[in-house]
Amino acid sequence: MHAAAPRANQDPGLPTDGSGDSVLGLVPHQLRGFLAQFRNIHIVGAAYDCCTGAARQCCKHMRRKALK
């Protein structure tokens, strides 16, 4: 016998306009979870200007590098 998975709660911090859609579904920047409760928490935080993945300086550099 297999129990159904619990329904996911709608997180108000997630985009509802479809901008977060991808082939893989929602792929947040950071995921935290609890195995004992079988749920995930989507972490939402302020932008960090030194983030190696999304900082404006890093994105500009990668765009320039890609054009060369």
Locate the domains of the chain by residue range.
Answer: 31-67
Question: How many Cβ atoms from other residues are within 10 Å of residue 55's Cβ?
Answer: 14
- In which band, very low, low, confident or very high, does the pLDDT at 62 lie, cut at 50, 70 and 90? confident
Locate 10 and state its tokens: 């709608």
Enumerate the β-bridge partners of residue 42.
Answer: 31
Q: What is the dihedral of CA 35, 40, 45, 51, to 10 degrees?
A: 70
- Which residue's entry shows tokens 């997630």? 14
Residue type (1 letter), 68: K
Instruction: Output the pTM of the full model.
Output: 0.29
Residues 60, 55: Cα–Cα separation, whole Å = 9
Query: 2-45: per-residue pLDDT in tens?
Result: 666 655 555 555 555 555 556 666 666 566 667 777 677 767 77
Q: What's the pLDDT score for residue 55?
A: 77
